[in-house]
Structure 1
């Protein structure tokens, strides 16, 4: 795990683009190494675009941004895989290989990020599956798992390389409330162990129940509950 006195994320005067369109302007915020932060906003307000900018799927064209020691305004294509090794990325739609077992899905990520020792790979696979409560699932195929179990596999995959932060884009969006609550508690446990979490969500129950810091995309701006009053409404 990356331990540093520097923030995990620090953005100044960032403009987030989708193609030629500026989705968010003058974005400024910092995430510390042990923080849990919600990212909210209406559909199309820029949440996913901001996350994609942070893991360099969208280029940073304006402003300065540092994440896990990388300067996004200067990053070269060849360095993006090294950036992503320090991040855990959790998608709403899972993005698992449906023709491969849970273990094979995890091994694929390990090989892609430089793991070579098969014994260490197996031990790490067992470790992360145990952490997410799926110790007996390694030989199962994704279609044999429930939606909540598949999301736990995605979280295990994101934890493979001991990331400094998890970037989660609507990780409970397709799950029923009880399953969503269990997934959220897993994120809390991971956070308590020292991994920062930035979670985009539409789940108002989570927002009301857990008083974490909130970033809100609204009308082309990013509001921060540290410096502004933010309404958690039901209109998005």
Structure 2
């Protein structure tokens, strides 16, 4: 496992999208319980960085450790085990439209090794209550608002009690009031001990909440711990 309190440690990495290196010399750590924003213009490498961390893109150069797994040595058979320790939140939800909320959550649970139906049902209700959707188990995704669907996605990400949530523009398609509620839910999750890495274009969040910022810019990853990062409308 990673030493100290760091649950992500990336050193001298290059992040690729296909054959193109979109970020070079990437070095950063994220500690247990930390909340970090990831910003940058469209195409600057934010999503590619997140996808590399959950092994949707290959880790080709450098050293990387996340929740105890070395990315440069990760075997295909180990990817599901890595993802059990991560929570992944997508902007476009990626819910099965022809399955109920409960069935969407059960699908993930079965895919990650759950077998006891009673425990599955109990955990499903726990995470739905956590995100404020205790009465949504039997509903279809199309019966929910965009904000409610995003809460289901967050519930799905919490199923296996992850050490960190990787969130790619989780409020990007939501109106400001709904986005604020979703962000406050992320804060609650973070306050209970789960680290958060959130890619966002939401300038209001960045100005309102003084969390650490990682910025993808001109092929580099800047860190507000070591660099002056201006929050403006250039991303």
> When the two structures are superposed, what TM-score results if normalisation uses the length of structure 1?
0.98
Shift of 1:6: 3.9
Match of 1:115 in 2: 114
1:158-197 matches, cutoff 5 A: 158-197=157-196
Tell whether the 8 Å contact from 1:3 to 1:33 is kept in structure 2 after alignment: no
- Give distance in 2, aligned partners of 1:114 and 1:69: 19
Count residues in correspondence.
Answer: 235
CA distance in 2, matches of 1:77, 1:178: 41
Distance in 1 separating the partners of 2:5 and 2:11: 15
Partner Cα distance (1:86, 1:120) in 2:
18
Cα distance in 2 for residues equivalent to 1:22 and 1:97: 33
Distance 1:73 1:85 in 2: 18
Equivalent residue for 2:141? 142
User: Over the residues paired in the alignment, what is the CA RMSD in angstroms?
Assistant: 1.2
User: 1:68 matched to which residue of 2?
Assistant: 67
Q: SS of the residue aligned with 2:205?
A: helix
Secondary structure of 1:173's counterpart equals coil
Q: Does structure 1 conserve the Cα–Cα contact (< 8 Å) formed by 2:2 and 2:68? A: no
Under a length normalisation based on structure 2, what TM-score does the superposition of the two structures give? 0.98
Displacement, 1:3?
11
The answer on whether the counterparts of 1:4 and 1:33 sit within 8 Å (CA) in structure 2 is no
Contact 1:88 1:158 in 2 (8 A): yes
The ranges of structure 1 where at least 4 consecutive aligned residues each deviate by more than 2 angstroms after the TM superposition are 2-6
Counterpart for residue 26 of structure 1: 25
- Work out the CA distance in 1 between the residues paired with 2:158 and 2:4: 21
Matches within 5 A, 1:87-236: 87-236=86-235
SS at match of 1:114: coil
SS class of match (1:217) = strand
Q: Distance in 1 between matches of 2:154 and 2:48?
A: 21
Q: Distance in 1 between matches of 2:93 and 2:26?
A: 28
Counterparts of 2:91 and 2:2 in 1: how far apart (Å)?
28
Does residue 1:44 correspond to 2:43, yes or no? yes
Please say if residues 55 and 79 of structure 2, whose CA atoms lie closer than 8 Å, have aligned partners that are also in contact: yes
